[in-house]
């Protein structure tokens, strides 16, 4: 990733998702080199790389299924050789969208694997070099579900995000003395394909939002850039909710 004019290198997990893509292009626009992690959406990853390169920054694509312990550990060993200045733990899913009385151990552990365990291990992997270089930014993408609890069909999703917020607190405390700033963003309802995978009655849902509208990926990307780039100098251990007032 040797682009001398760049502001640093950011790793964005789930960069092929709608929010991940918006975050990646936001950082590229700010002059950062980008490592885009993806899993199944190879075409979207390749298309994103060519968009990012138009900003005259470097872009690398790393593929890993975060459900697979083996793939996660290969991914981490590749990262250990790179100076990552900013990590955006954005990949997320809900495995087994069903009433909690039908959930299996596998549904719960799989959801935690992507939403909590992988971010924890990825943060640990990049933290050491961040501390040594006295600069690091980590942003964990949680969910409004961590604030209010999820629906009865996604309790493991909300719980996994709440656990991710716990990671933020410990890392922020640990990072503070080394200029490694760690924060959480809690998106409310954002217009992405996530909701096509886990459909709900959107009209009813929007009525619960004080601003009476859903957010855009750019709403999250702007905050991720603010917290996860050189722009952030004094904010750490915060949870920023972006949810139209919910
Ligand atoms: N949309 C919302 O309203 C909303 C609200 C609250 C929180 N969030 C959180 O925001 C983040 C981004 O959501 P989004 O709406 O942009 O979702 P999305 O469009 O569905 O994207 C999800 C991303 O996660 C990756 N991913 C899923 N399963 C994976 C696995 N097993 N291994 C590796 N990567 C995996 C996907 O990669 P591939 O496509 O390459 O497989 C994709 O890049 C998530 O953490 C989500 O929980 C979203």
* Residue 1: predicted pLDDT: 55
Cα–Cα distance between 99 and 101 in angstroms, integer?
5
Structural domains counted in the chain = 1
Q: Which of 11, 12, 13, 14 to mutate to test the pocket of ligand 1 (most atoms within 8 A of CB)?
A: 14
pLDDT, tens digit, for every residue of 138-180? Answer: 999 999 999 999 999 999 999 999 999 999 999 999 999 999 9
Write the DSSP assignment of 178-228 as a string of letters.
TTEEEEEEEE-SB-STHHHHS---HHHHHTTSTTSS-B-HHHHHHHHHHHH
**What percentage of the chain has pLDDT greater than the value 90?**
91
Does the pTM surpass 0.85? The reply is yes
**Domain limits at 103?**
9-240
Cβ 189 under 6 angstroms from ligand 1:
yes
Is 135 contained in some domain? yes
Burial 142-174 (b: 16+ CB within 10 A, else e): bbbbbbeebeebbbbbbbbbbbbbebbeebbee
Q: Which of 13, 16, 17, 64 to mutate to test the pocket of ligand 1 (most atoms within 8 A of CB)?
A: 17
Question: Closest Cα to residue 191, out of 12, 21, 43?
Answer: 21
**What percentage of the chain has pLDDT greater than the value 70?**
98
**Sole residue written with tokens 């619960």:** 208
What does DSSP assign to residue 187? Answer: E
Average pLDDT over residues 201-207: 90
Q: Which residues contact 182 (CB under 8 A, 6 or more apart)?
A: 123, 137, 138, 139, 140, 168, 171, 172, 175, 236, 237
Cα–Cα distance between 53 and 209 in angstroms, integer?
37
Is 2 contained in some domain? no
Is 37 contained in some domain? yes
Cβ 67 under 6 angstroms from ligand 1:
yes
Cα 17 to ligand 1 centre (Å) = 5
| Two structure tokens written together for 106 | 């596998």
Is 22 contained in some domain? yes
Is 170 contained in some domain? yes
Is 246 contained in some domain? no
| Two structure tokens written together for 243 | 């949810």
Cα 88 to ligand 1 centre (Å) = 12
CATH code for the domain of 160:
3.40.50.720
Cβ 187 under 6 angstroms from ligand 1:
yes
Q: Between 13 and 81, name the one with better pLDDT.
A: 13
Q: Are strands 86-89 and 33-38 parallel, antiparallel or unpaired?
A: unpaired
Question: Closest Cα to residue 30, out of 217, 237, 228?
Answer: 228
pLDDT, tens digit, for every residue of 32-54? Answer: 999 999 999 999 999 999 999 99
* Residue 165: predicted pLDDT: 97
Cβ 39 under 6 angstroms from ligand 1:
yes
Cβ 111 under 6 angstroms from ligand 1:
no
Cα 232 to ligand 1 centre (Å) = 24
């Amino acid at each position: 990733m040797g682009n001398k004019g760049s502001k640093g290198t950011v790793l964005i997990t789930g960069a092929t998702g709608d929010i991940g893509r918006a975050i990646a292009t936001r950082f590229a626009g700010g002059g950062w080199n980008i490592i885009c992690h993806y899993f199944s959406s190879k075409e979207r990853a390749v298309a994103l790389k060519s968009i990012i390169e138009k900003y005259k920054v470097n872009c690398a694509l790393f593929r890993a299924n975060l459900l697979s312990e083996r793939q996660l550990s290969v991914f981490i060993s590749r990262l250990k050789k790179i100076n990552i200045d900013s990590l955006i733990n954005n990949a997320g899913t809900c495995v087994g969208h069903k009433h909690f009385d039908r959930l299996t151990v596998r549904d719960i552990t799989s959801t935690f694997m992507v939403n909590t365990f992988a971010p924890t291990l990825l943060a640990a992997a990049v933290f050491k070099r961040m501390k040594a270089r006295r600069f690091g930014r980590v942003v964990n993408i949680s969910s409004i579900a961590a604030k209010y609890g999820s629906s009865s069909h996604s309790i493991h999703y909300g719980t996994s995000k709440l656990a991710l917020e716990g990671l933020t607190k410990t890392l922020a405390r640990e990072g503070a003395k080394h200029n490694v700033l760690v924060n959480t963003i809690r998106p409310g309802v954002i217009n992405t394909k996530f909701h096509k995978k886990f459909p709900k009655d959107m009209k009813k849902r929007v009525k619960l939002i004080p601003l009476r509208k859903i957010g855009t990926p750019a709403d999250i990307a702007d905050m991720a850039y603010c917290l996860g780039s050189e722009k952030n100098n004094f904010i750490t251990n915060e949870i920023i909710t972006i949810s139209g007032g919910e």
